[in-house]
Amino acid sequence: MRASQYFLPTLKEAPSEAEVPSHIFLVRGGFIRQLAAGLYEYLPLGLRVLKKIENIIRKHMDDAGALEVLLPILTPAELWQETGRWDVYGKELFRVEDRKGRLFALGPTHEETITDLVRKNIRSYKDLPKNFYQIQTKFRDEARPRYGLIRGREFIMKDAYSFDVSEEMAVKSYEIMKETYNKIFSELGLDYLMVEADTGAIGGKYSHEFVVKAANGEAHIVYCENCGYAANVEAAKYEFELDKLPPEEEKPLEKVHTPNVSSVEDVAKFLGVSPKKIVKTLIYILSDGTAVAVLIRGDRELNETKLINYFNVNDARLATSEELEKMGLVEGFVGPIGLDLPVYADVSVQDLHNFVVGANEKDYHYINVNIPRDFKPIEFVDFSTAREGDPCPNCKAPLKETTGLEVGHIFLLGTKYSDAMKAYFVDKDGKEKPIVMGCYGIGVSRLMAAAVEQNHDENGIIWPESIAPFKLQILALNMKDEKIKEVAENIYKKAKEKGIEVLFDDREMSAGAKFKDADLIGIPHRIVVGKGVKNNVVEYQHRAKKEKEEIPIDKVDEFLEKLR
RNA sequence: CGGAGCGUAGCUCAGGCGGUAGAGCACUGGCAUGGGGGGCCAGAGGUCGGCGGUUCGAGUCCGCUCGCUCCGACCA
């Protein structure tokens, strides 16, 4: 491709709305443009990268026996109502109405559609297993789109759905996808982790996330360098047994005056005790309307995902000040003793002795509280958010924490959707059974951003070889110099003949501008044709490296052969 | 959805005391150049996000509204 005939609208300055490296460089390099919040246009250069990513995914999905389909973006509301997600999915679902007033959703994911297709067309165990996938635009009306391609309202996703006769077989399908995903992310050249995850709104029995390590990532991960355990902090088990305080003899319960002292830090300082001996009492309102009290040790953070999962509700939120007041509670001094609410406790509170809680009275706390002498929680549950330094649930070594971008997520769904939508098959024994499902997503457009987050320097992008828009870039530094032009044209012709994807910068611009553009765009291999032609040499440089190498013009052919 | 910031040329931004708008880069034509966004000359480009109000007069003041971004909540 000749740069003079291509479309390279590169920018010298970062657009004011861009904050993170991937957003800045993808816009500056002429890969994407923003149309509106969370909506991006893919320019020719950007689309080349996107297609490369898609094709790597496609190749591995096909190898794994998955079958590509293409489902409508519009999905009838009735399907969403069947599974109940028309209401559960909330405002994130883009809803549209046709001329007759029939409601549709712009698909944010396609469990409903694919399950409908399967229930209408698969009747027998002989038709199973099946795994269908598609690569398509998805729509989610994000409350806060951000970071360019990392979180858009319209984005490209590869979604796959497996259908099996039993959970045992579904686990096999799941394991095949796990392996396939590892192949895909390896080939993409990314530094990633596979982590245990929560299933969230998609639901299901268990799931794994694939997370690309990145400073700007929204996923919080703990991992163990010793045994390889890795999990999203939302899903990571908290190994409290190793974090317990030593046993103590019970002291008598005492109410103490703590004027204007309510936060854990303040109470700890005021009473001269460790935050580990203070127990927070949090009042949560579950989405079914019930209020519960949840206790957690002062140094731990409650994990709402674990709370929601435990109570099996759609949502949970902290009670507001007004609600606390209505219940007769004093904000900042809430405690479990004499509390007229169901009390649950995080495991961090188990076997804790002589601790501090609010006294349900302004400016008073109880000290030397002990379970079960002073109160008794209904149950001890793991509600704690995992964090750096916690013991690994497998091997007890201290966990490390990191942030990353979730680029893939696989779920063993079980029969959640097949039950709701009556997707049944007739088994060998002649009985009708629900099909057991799994679903598997990859954020294709987000991957493009993730690759840049992980591969850039101060001058621009350094594309991994497998997804670079071109493999080779030729810079002719002075197109008015006949010799330079001739040599460059010749190399370009040869590279094309060898089937190398090459971008030939034949534009009539200053040399400096060409170098800057080349660095920004980040094509891995670069041949510079400049004043060296007088000595019959051209220069080779890899985008990721500083060193330059001189190649005699008559050896260029061999050199290109190596690039093939 | 809560909190904050910002909308002026294609891009990045200045002007803000009310008196009819500027820079750099980009763009067009020309010249000289050609190894890291370099130089010179000439030119084109704006209902100052929108609506309404105050005023003789509004980019500037006031109200509303739309858009974009950031922090948080939420979310794959």
* pLDDT value of position A23: 93
- Pairwise CA distance, residues A347 & A377, whole Å: 11
pLDDT greater than 90 at residue A313: no
Q: Within 204-223 of chain A, which residues have Cβ less than 7 Å from strand B?
A: 209, 218
pLDDT digits (tens, 9 = 90+) for A142-177: 988 989 999 999 999 999 999 999 999 999 999 999
The answer to whether strand B lies under 7 Å from the CB of residue A70 is no
pLDDT digits (tens, 9 = 90+) for A397-426: 888 888 899 999 999 999 989 999 999 999
> What is the per-residue burial (b if ≥16 Cβ within 10 Å, else e) of A10-24?
beeeeeeebebbbbb
Comparing A172-186, A285-299, A494-508, which segment has the lowest mean pLDDT? A285-299
pLDDT digits (tens, 9 = 90+) for A509-524: 889 999 999 999 999 9
The nucleotide minimizing the C1' distance to residue A459's CA is B36
pLDDT greater than 80 at residue A321: no
Comparing A38-47, A153-162, A344-353, A497-506, which segment has the lowest mean pLDDT? A344-353
**CA atom of A42 to C1′ atom of B52, Å:** 39
- Pairwise CA distance, residues A550 & A539, whole Å: 5
Q: How confident is the model at residue A259 (pLDDT cuts 50, 70, 90)?
A: confident
* pLDDT value of position A200: 62
Tell which wins on pLDDT, A514 or A319. A514
**For the ranges A83-87, A213-217, A262-266, the one whose mean pLDDT is highest:** A83-87
Cβ-in-10-Å burial (0-12, 13-18, 19+) of A373 comes to exposed
* pLDDT value of position A19: 85
pLDDT greater than 70 at residue A40: yes
pLDDT digits (tens, 9 = 90+) for A229-246: 888 888 888 877 777 788
Strand B nucleotides, any atom under 7 Å to a protein CB: 1-2, 11-13, 24-26, 33-38, 67-76
pLDDT greater than 80 at residue A119: yes
* pLDDT value of position A508: 87
The answer to whether strand B lies under 7 Å from the CB of residue A301 is no
The nucleotide minimizing the C1' distance to residue A317's CA is B73
Identity of the amino acid at A522: G
Q: Which residues pair with A292 in a beta bridge?
A: A284
The rounded mean pLDDT for chain A is: 90
**CA atom of A419 to C1′ atom of B14, Å:** 64
* pLDDT value of position A52: 97
Tell which wins on pLDDT, A214 or A543. A543
Of 1.25.40.10, 1.10.579.10, 3.30.365.10, 3.40.50.800, the CATH number of A470-563 is: 3.40.50.800
* pLDDT value of position A262: 78
**CA atom of A50 to C1′ atom of B12, Å:** 29
The answer to whether strand B lies under 7 Å from the CB of residue A30 is no
* pLDDT value of position A331: 80
Q: Which of A347, A328, A344 is nearest to A336 (CA)?
A: A344
pLDDT digits (tens, 9 = 90+) for A421-456: 999 999 999 999 999 999 999 999 999 999 999 999
CA distances in angstroms from A111 to A95, A117, A357, listed in the order given: 17, 10, 46
Under CATH, which number does the domain A241-381 receive?
3.90.960.10
Identity of the amino acid at A276: K
**Left, alpha or beta for A192 (phi > 0: left; psi -120 to 50: alpha)?**
beta
- Mean pLDDT over A71-85 rounds to 93
A455 Cβ contact partners less than 8 Å away, ≥ 6 residues apart: A189, A461, A462, A463, A464, A522
pLDDT greater than 70 at residue A199: no
- Pairwise CA distance, residues A290 & A315, whole Å: 11
The answer to whether strand B lies under 7 Å from the CB of residue A548 is yes
Q: Within 481-500 of chain A, which residues have Cβ less than 7 Å from strand B?
A: 481
* pLDDT value of position A545: 92
The answer to whether strand B lies under 7 Å from the CB of residue A545 is no
Q: How confident is the model at residue A564 (pLDDT cuts 50, 70, 90)?
A: confident
* pLDDT value of position A201: 54
The nucleotide minimizing the C1' distance to residue A518's CA is B36
Residue with tokens 């209408």: A120
The answer to whether strand B lies under 7 Å from the CB of residue A147 is yes
- Pairwise CA distance, residues A358 & A280, whole Å: 8
Look up residue A40 and give its two tokens: 């991006």
The answer to whether strand B lies under 7 Å from the CB of residue A396 is no
* pLDDT value of position A401: 87
**CA atom of A207 to C1′ atom of B18, Å:** 63
Residue A553 DSSP one-character state: G
Q: Is the peptide bond before A76 cis (omega within 30 degrees of 0)?
A: no
* pLDDT value of position A286: 84
Following DSSP, what letter does each residue of A188-201 receive, concatenated? TT--EEEEEE--GG
* pLDDT value of position A389: 86
ipTM greater than 0.85, yes or no?
A: yes
* pLDDT value of position A204: 62
The answer to whether strand B lies under 7 Å from the CB of residue A532 is yes
pLDDT digits (tens, 9 = 90+) for A355-409: 999 998 888 999 999 988 999 999 998 888 888 888 888 888 888 888 899 999 9
Comparing A131-135, A338-342, A541-545, which segment has the lowest mean pLDDT? A338-342
pLDDT greater than 90 at residue A78: yes
Following DSSP, what letter does each residue of A525-552 receive, concatenated? EEEEESGGGGGTEEEEEETT---EEEEE
pLDDT digits (tens, 9 = 90+) for A284-304: 888 777 889 999 998 888 888
- Pairwise CA distance, residues A157 & A137, whole Å: 6
- Pairwise CA distance, residues A368 & A404, whole Å: 42
pLDDT greater than 80 at residue A53: yes
Q: Where are the domains of chain A?
A: 46-71+108-237+401-453, 241-381, 470-563
Question: What CATH superfamily is the domain A46-71+108-237+401-453?
Answer: Bira Bifunctional Protein; Domain 2 (3.30.930.10)
* pLDDT value of position A202: 56
Strands across the sheet containing A279-286: A316-318, A279-286, A291-297, A343-346, A379-381
